[in-house]
Chain A
Amino acid sequence: MHIPDGYLSPATCGVMYGAAAPFWYVAATRVRKALTGRTVPVLALFAAFSFVLMMFNVPLPGGTTAHAVGGTLLAIVLGPWAAVIGISTVLGIQALFFGDGGLMTFGANCFNMAIVLPLVGYFIYKVLSSNSEATSTRRLVAAVLGSYVGIVAAAFFAGVELGIQPTLFHTAAGVPLYAPYGLSKALGAMVGGHLLVAGPVEALATGLVFAFLQRTHSSLVKADVPGKKEGKIWLLWGALGVVALATPIGLLASGTAWGEWGVDELKDLGLGFIPSGMQRFADWWPAPLPDYSLARMGAVIGYILSAFVGIALTALLLYLFGRMLTRKGKDLATEQSPSERDAPV
């Protein structure tokens, strides 16, 4: 799912950096607080592990192999925010060193694989496993399903990012400048491909490792147990996720012709929950290149942009809200001090 440079326009890349930034900020602050002094070595070692995990060829039934991301697994063991930074780190190394994923598209790749994937996966895991035992089958199923949904959600966003390129960015003659396939094809390929192949691989890899950890290192499984108050935040996150997904799902569910979308059609698809102030914003958004049809581009960009900006703003608000909620609560850090964790020599 790593998107190389060249598939997304600079404008899209900029927006995706903007969408990722608040999550990075929240992650950095939260992780620092939870891990205190041990932030750097813990994140680094687990990020290194993620890298190794991503390199493994997982043997599939049927004789092929594929790669997993392991974002949900990381979120379960370290906590979701640590996973955000961990996977972002791995993506950074892959992009810089191995050309796996571009430098401009780094924001987008992080948003998909380092933010959406672990947060959605972790949320599903928490909801499904609730307070069951660390070694229970229920937790294993929750982990497997969580990782599956997480990666499909990530693929979904990737599909949207790729799919809107030809509509938004093409020459006067209609030649797509970046990723050439429209929303329907891109979503079909990404979501379809992950539902059928990459998703099961991710679920399989997560399940295998999680089962092993349950048997041998069950302490790793019960990481970062959030207090009751934090549980409420997760409901809010879930609601936010649904809202964010509703935007493009609304597009798909309409049943009108695939491919090019007219502005009026978009309006009809129930995007009215986006504040009307955003629409004014959309209308005066300057087209990046003079060839584009201003009105039409403006509206489409505006709607999609507003969805992302809305998510980012809501994330910030939720974070502040969460800070207020938990300030009076108990200390959430459940990590033991080094003296208790010292391994036998």
Chain B
Amino acid sequence: MKSDDFLSKNISNITHLLESVMSAEDLCRAPGLLQGLDARVKVATVVLFIVVVGLARSLPILGGIFALILVFVVLSKIPLGIFLKRILIFIPIFTAVIAIPALFVTPGAPLVTAGSKVIITEQGARTAGLLVLRVTDSLSFGILLVLTTRWTDILAALRWFRVPSLFVAVLGMTYRYIFLLLHTANSMFLARRSRTLGTFSGRENRRWLGQALGTTMAKSQHLSEEVYLAMLSRGYRDEGLALNSFTLRRRDFLWAAFALATASMLLWSNWR
């Protein structure tokens, strides 16, 4: 692979990721509907909705849920463009690749015909539609949660839900250090690119990548030692210690009630 493409691709990957995280953090502070809710309630209701999406069996229901999601997006002052962009990054690439063949391959009643040949069947369309909508809806709920809740609040909510403190502590610290390592990696790529006059062969690039990754791993190891010492230095003895500052307000109860009511309605209409 050409050096330019290989390096540039990696650099842009990293930069896009960092940008998306930054924008997510800014949106968490907007004065929207979901931002003002308690994190625990949000996590619980998002999980509830995703399960409902998982159990839904009809296209109209899944479509209706998406409409509902869009309402939430607007009420939470999230720019529709940003939201749709996030979804579209994942839906087409993976799901279309999976769903599109199903359109043509599934046997059943004809839906779209070219002359006497059946191109798309009703079953095929339904299969593809169910999959795409289900994936879109589930993904959207996840995105809503992340765009309207501060990362630290999500962690605190997990802790409250009795997720073992080891996992939560590791999650938090991993997230924090991902950016440091990404920054280091990015610098390595940029330094390499600035020294690229012609092109390096694929083989040279691979060898360099091995070195870059190996160096990053060694840095991780070194950092882990130093961080441990820094933790010890301030009296570290228990990973599970944290300040819990959750309070439930009336709007949280209203939201929970609304979520439960909607979920029940959707599930009931599923089986009607």
Contact = CB atoms under 8 A, between A and B. Distances in A.
Instruction: Decide if A and B touch, CB cutoff 8 A.
Output: yes
Interface of A: 4-7, 9-10, 13, 28, 32, 37-49, 51-53, 55-61, 63-65, 77, 85, 88-90, 92-93, 95-100, 102-104, 171, 173-181, 204-205, 207-209, 211-213, 216-217, 220, 289-290, 338, 341-343
B142 A5 contact: yes
Contacts of A58: 206, 209
Contacts of B20: 98
Contact of B228 (A5, A41, A180): A41
A61 B206 CA distance: 9
**Residue in B95, B171, B206, B213 with the greatest tally of chain A CB atoms within 10 Å:** B213
A290 B210 contact: no
Interface string B133-173: 01111110011011000000010000000001011011111
Nearest to B143: A99
B146 A179 contact: no
A295 B211 CA distance: 57
Interface of chain B, helix or strand or loop or mixed?
A: helix
A6 B271 CA distance: 19
B148 to A, nearest CB: 13
Interface string B206-234: 11011101111110111111111101100
> Which 3 A-B residue pairings sit nearest by Cβ, starting from the closest?
A208-B210, A5-B138, A212-B214
Contact of A45 (B46, B206, B220): B220
A91 to B, nearest CB: 11
Given A57-B6, A59-B205, A102-B139, A208 B213 contact: yes
Given A7-B135, A59-B1, A175-B108, 8 more contacts: A45-B224, A57-B10, A89-B167, A90-B174, A103-B138, A104-B50, A178-B131, A209-B210
B258 interface: no
Nearest to A49: B220
B14 interface: yes
A59 to B, nearest CB: 4
A7 to B, nearest CB: 7
Contacts of A4: 90, 94-95, 135, 138-139
A45 B54 CA distance: 34
Nearest to A92: B171
A193 to B, nearest CB: 11
B126 to A, nearest CB: 5
A4 B98 CA distance: 12
Interface string B100-137: 00100010100000000000000100111011001111
Interface residues of B, number: 92
B26 interface: no
Interface of B: 1, 6, 9-10, 13-14, 17, 20-21, 24, 46-47, 50-51, 53-55, 57, 86-87, 89-90, 94-95, 98-99, 102, 106, 108, 123, 126-128, 130-131, 134-139, 142-143, 145-146, 154, 164, 166-167, 169-178, 180-182, 185, 202, 205-207, 209-211, 213-218, 220-229, 231-232, 236-237, 239, 271
Contacts of A98: 17, 20
A97 B209 contact: no
Nearest to B218: A217
B209 A56 contact: yes
Contact of A212 (B181, B210, B223): B210
Nearest to B214: A212
Contact of A290 (B54, B131, B271): B271
A209 B222 contact: no
B164 A28 contact: yes
A205 B213 contact: yes
A103 B174 contact: no
Contact of B1 (A38, A60, A90, A180): A60
26 contacts: A5-B138, A6-B131, A6-B138, A10-B51, A37-B236, A38-B225, A41-B173, A46-B217, A48-B178, A49-B181, A52-B213, A56-B209, A57-B9, A59-B6, A65-B9, A93-B174, A96-B146, A96-B154, A104-B50, A175-B108, A176-B130, A177-B130, A178-B134, A213-B218, A217-B214, A217-B218
Contacts of A44: 169-170, 172-174, 176-177, 224, 227
Contacts of B136: 6
**Residue in A37, A59, A64 with the greatest tally of chain B CB atoms within 10 Å:** A59
Contact of A99 (B86, B177, B220): B86
A10 B142 contact: no
